[in-house]
Amino acid sequence: MDYERFFQLETDPFSNVPDSRFYYDSPQHSDAVTRLAHVAERMRGLGVLTGEVGAGKTMLARRLLEILREDGRFETALLVLTHAEFSPAWFLRRLGSLIGIRELPEDKTQMASGLARRLMEIHAEGRKTVILIDEANMLRSPAILEEMRGLLNLELSDARLITFILFGMTEVEHNLAQDTSLNQRVAVKYHLGPLDEASTKEYVQHRLVIAGRQEELFTETAYELIVQYSQGRPRLVNAICDNALVEACLLAKEVIDASVVQTVANSLGLEATADDEKQTELNLSQEYNF
C-alpha cells in the first residue's frame, strides 16, 4: 500500500530500521551524546549507555559513530553483538578487523600482541581508537570481560590506547559488576529513559518533516493517545504511527485522529493504565464532542 503518495511523503517515516537521517535530538539524547563524546574525546576508557527495549539506544549509537567519524582524530567502529555465545578469540579477532588488521595469529597471546601494536600505530598517527558496542548486554562471559579489561590496561605515559562505549539494556550493569576492576573503569554511565509528552510529539513531527511532510498529520488528541500507548518508547511510537498511516489511508482520512490511533492500539494489543484509560475516553469524547 502506497500511503507515501496518499500523505505526500517522499519516504517511509516510521521504519524501525536505524536510519540516522531520522535521528531526533531530544534534550536527553543531546545530553547523552555530549557525555559519551566526552568519554571518547578524553579517552576515559569505558562509557555505558543503558535503556529499556525500544528506547532508541541503537539510533543514538549510530549518531555518536557519525560524530566521531566526522572528526578525523578518531579510529572508530561499531560492533553489534547478536548473541552471547562467542569466544575471547572471536572477540579479539573482530576488534582487530574493525581497526584495520587483516589477519591475526591463532594464538590468543599473539592476538593480543597484534592488537597492541596496531593500537600503538594508531596513537602514533595522532588518532584515538574508540569502539562502540551495541547490544552490549550480550557481554556476559567473564572471559570476554577479562579481555576488555586487559585492553583497557594498554596505556602509554600520556594516553590510554583504546576506549569502549557500551550500549545495551540494563543487564549491562549487572554483567560489568561481575568484574570489579572493569566496573571501576566506567567513566560515564547514562540511562536513556522514555520520551516525555512534548518530545514524543516533536519526535513524530520531526520524522514526518524528514520524510517530506510539511502539514500537520495528527490531531492533538491523536498525539495524546500515541503518548499514552507508546509510553514514550520510540520503537513503539514508530509502530503505532506506521499502522495509523495504513489505517487512515484505507479509510481515506487525510488527517489522523484519535479514533484511528485507538483502532491501531487495539489491533496491536496495547494496553493503557487505569488513568490512561480514563484519559482515552476523554480524548475520544473530545474528538467527537460527545
Name beta bridge partners: 129: 75, 162
For 247-285, how does the pLDDT look when each residue is reduced to its tens digit (9 = 90+)? 999 999 999 999 999 999 999 999 876 455 555 555 554
For 63-103, how does the pLDDT look when each residue is reduced to its tens digit (9 = 90+)? 999 999 999 999 999 999 999 999 999 999 999 999 999 88
Are the C-beta atoms of residues 89 and 144 closer than 8 Å to each other?
no
pLDDT number for residue 274: 47
Are the C-beta atoms of residues 208 and 13 closer than 8 Å to each other?
yes
pLDDT number for residue 168: 97
pLDDT number for residue 289: 47
What's the Cα-to-Cα distance from 208 to each of 15, 215, 242, rounded to whole Å? 11, 9, 11
For 128-164, how does the pLDDT look when each residue is reduced to its tens digit (9 = 90+)? 999 999 999 999 999 999 999 999 999 988 789 999 9
Find all residues with CB under 8 Å of 126, minimum gap 6, and list them.
73
CB < 8 Å & 24+ apart, contacts of 111-114: 112/147, 112/150, 112/151
CA distance 23 to 35: 17
User: Is residue 38 pLDDT above 50, yes or no?
Assistant: yes
Query: For residue 55, what is its C-alpha cell?
Result: 528506547
CA distance 102 to 250: 53
Query: For residue 75, what is its C-alpha cell?
Result: 579510529
Helices (H) and strands (E) in the chain, counts: 13, 5
pLDDT number for residue 1: 63
Nearest to 43 by CA among 121, 124, 155: 155
pLDDT number for residue 86: 94
Its pTM stands at 0.90
pLDDT number for residue 273: 62
- Side-by-side strand order, sheet with 128-134: 74-80, 128-134, 162-168, 46-51, 186-192
Are the C-beta atoms of residues 33 and 60 closer than 8 Å to each other?
yes
pLDDT band at 287 (very low <50, low <70, confident <90, very high): low
pLDDT number for residue 290: 38
Query: For residue 145, what is its C-alpha cell?
Result: 570481560
For 171-225, how does the pLDDT look when each residue is reduced to its tens digit (9 = 90+)? 999 999 999 999 999 999 999 999 999 999 999 999 999 999 999 999 999 999 9
Residue of higher predicted confidence among 283 and 27 = 27
- Strands of 1-157 (E only): list them: 46-51, 74-80, 128-134
Find all residues with CB under 8 Å of 111, minimum gap 6, and list them.
89, 92, 93, 96, 104, 105
**Which CATH number is correct for 197-288, 1.20.1440.120, 3.20.20.70, 3.40.50.720, 1.10.8.60?**
1.10.8.60
pLDDT number for residue 157: 80
Are the C-beta atoms of residues 61 and 37 closer than 8 Å to each other?
no
pLDDT number for residue 175: 95
- Structural domain boundaries in the chain: 27-192, 197-288
Q: Which CATH superfamily does the domain covering 27-192 fall into?
A: P-loop containing nucleotide triphosphate hydrolases (3.40.50.300)
